[in-house]
Amino acid sequence: MKMKACILLGTRPEIIKMSPLIRACESLGIDYYILHTGQHYSYEMDRQFFLDLELPKPKYNLDVGGRPYRKQVGMMIRQIMDVLSKDRPDIVFVQGDTNSVLAGALAANKLGIPIGHHEAGLRSHDLTMLEETNRIITDHISDFLFAPTKDAKKNLEEEGIDMSKTWLTGNTVVDAVKENLKISEKKAEPLKKLGLKKGGYILATAHRAENVDVQKRLRGIIGGLGLVFEKTGLEVIYPIHPRAKARLEEFKIDLPDGIRLIEPQGYLDFLQLEANAKLIITDSGGLQEEACILKVPCVTTRDNTERPETVDAGINVLSGTVPEKILSCAKDMLENHRRWTNPFGDGHAGKRIIETWLKESSKS
């Protein structure tokens, strides 16, 4: 019997991390379609990534972006159920911890369609994060749980999840970086465009709701970036996420010297900006992982992380959002030599995930 997969995605990191699954479906001749919830919808947060990664257009594109969450999650569930009912797949793949993931998993669950969760088992143990509840709920209703690391698999075991449903696969972020780094070296010239030198700047991002929506924390991050420039002379390049841009305007935060805001970057440009940075300062999940893969030290402006492997490996440090702490962490990461390890796998996670699903489904 020919199997059919639905690849559900909704935000920038999901497009990137789902791309290896899409490639694997294509190379293995699997019938699949892409269902885009439309959670991210601006050209530079969405379409740009389909172009950079040369992905086919989604078969279904829902229109839920920019809505308040009280409306958005419900709208997504209803519309995803409509699509899955008329174009019924044998599995719905979801990736990560966004509202799109939660809605996709709940919709599939109500229709009795198996769910495959890539990035299962990540835990920050901070229930105030929307993403943490999204992850926990999705894991507990998934049928195939693809844990990227041993730590993530252990979290699932500790929560009493049936271990026969879990597989250690690595994270497709490694596949995506490996597949696209060389292409980006050839095609993208962001350093030239921005007048930057290799190793001569710091790359920063901040977009987490619990950081940028809280005025004190956002002021702390911006103040910290300004302090880092003042003490190191390294310019801070900050491609700004639309959520953070809106909050900077709302809170009327003035930027100190040395911080250059730029538009969100496409993946090929962004990979080059990451790979050639002296240091990354971020609250992004994906950037903590990519820093390990690209061997760039990282400071994470959070109090916790669902990616503790990066901290254990000595490549990442948690600074919180107090400016002086951001500075001391940045100095430490700039000055101290470290050992590079990549805990996120060998770059074949996408194929492994699809093959595991096919093999396990053929048993039943």
Q: Write out the residues near ligand UD1 by the rule CB under 6 A.
A: 11-13, 39-42, 45-46, 65-66, 97-99, 130-131, 207, 209, 241-243
If one asks whether residue 190 binds ligand UDP (CB under 6 A), the answer comes out as no
Options 121, 223, 239, 343; binder of ligand UDP; rule CB under 6 A: 239
Distance CA 259, CA 263 (A): 13
Residues 91, 94, 100: CA angle, nearest 5 degrees: 125
- Burial class of 107 by CB neighbour count within 10 A (0 to 12, 13 to 18, 19+): buried
Q: Which is nearer to ligand UDP, 128 or 362 (CB)?
A: 128
Active site residues: 207
- Give the nearer residue to ligand UDP in terms of CB position, either 213 or 360: 213
| Number of residues forming the site for ligand UDP (CB under 6 A) | 15
Q: If contact means CB under 5 to 8 A according to the sort of partner, which of ligand UD1, ligand UDP, none does residue 40 touch?
A: ligand UD1
Cβ neighbors of 254 (< 8 A, separation 6 or more) are: none
**249-288 footprint of ligand UDP as x/- string (CB under 6 A):** ---------------xx-x--x-------------xxxx-
Residue 39: contacted member of ligand UD1, ligand UDP, none (CB under 5 to 8 Å, by partner type): ligand UD1
Calpha distance 92→140 (Å, rounded): 15
Instruction: Give one DSSP letter per residue of 123-156, joined into a string.
Output: ----TTSHHHHHHHHHHHH-SEEEESSHHHHHHH
Quick one: tokens of 109? 């669950």
| Binder among 23, 117, 153, 207 for ligand UDP (CB under 6 A) | 207
Token pair of 324 as six digits: 């002086």
- Report the distance separating Cα 101 and Cα 95, nearest Å: 6
Residue 302 or 352 having the CB closest to ligand UDP:
302
Could you tell me which of 275, 207, 213 has the C-alpha nearest to residue 240? 207
Residue closer to ligand UD1 (CB basis): 132 or 235: 132
| Per-residue interface string for the shown chain with ligand UDP, residues 5-44, x marking contact by CB under 6 A | -------xx--x----------------------------
- Rounded distance between C-alpha atoms, residue 95 and residue 5, angstroms: 14
CA distance 228 to 85: 53
- What is the end-to-end Cα distance of the chain in Å, rounded? 12
Q: Which does 41 bind (CB under 5 to 8 A by kind): ligand UDP, ligand UD1, none?
A: ligand UD1
280 DSSP assignment: E
Q: Which of 46, 119, 290, 306 binds ligand UDP (CB under 6 A)?
A: 290
Residue 139 or 143 with smaller CB distance to ligand UDP = 139
Residue 42 touches which of ligand UDP, ligand UD1, none (Cβ within 5-8 Å per kind): ligand UD1
Q: Which residues bind ligand UDP (CB under 6 A)?
A: 12-13, 16, 205, 207, 239, 264-265, 267, 270, 284-287, 290
